[in-house]
Amino acid sequence: MKFPLYSRVALAVDVPAEGIRRGDVATVVDHHPAPQAGGEPGCSLEVFSATGKTVAVITVPESSLEALRHDEVLAVRSRTTAA
């Protein structure tokens, strides 16, 4: 599913190197075509802290994103990165 630019999405995968976990909310900031024929398109995402500071900009395949749902509740957690 292609999400519109600047829409909020949930991550469907962990990105340990950035301290990002499945379920974290991010904003779509760019779309990328598939790197090769038959490949999967991707998106660049900006991930923000609870106070609005950018903590990561990552690029993931579109299949790594999920739509936010009305029955979900946002939560707060500490961000940790791999050493």
pLDDT digits (tens, 9 = 90+) for 17-75: 999 999 999 999 999 998 888 889 999 999 999 999 999 999 999 999 999 999 999 99
What confidence score (pLDDT) does residue 29 get?
98
CA distance 62 to 19: 19
Local structure of residue 20 (DSSP, 8 states): B
Kindly report the pTM of this predicted structure: 0.89
Positive/negative CA dihedral, 44, 1, 50, 76: negative
CA distance 82 to 68: 27
pLDDT band at 81, cuts 50/70/90? low
Is residue 74 within 8 A of residue 68, CB to CB? The reply is no
Closest CA to 55 of 80, 31, 72: 80
The residues spanned by each domain of the chain are 8-67
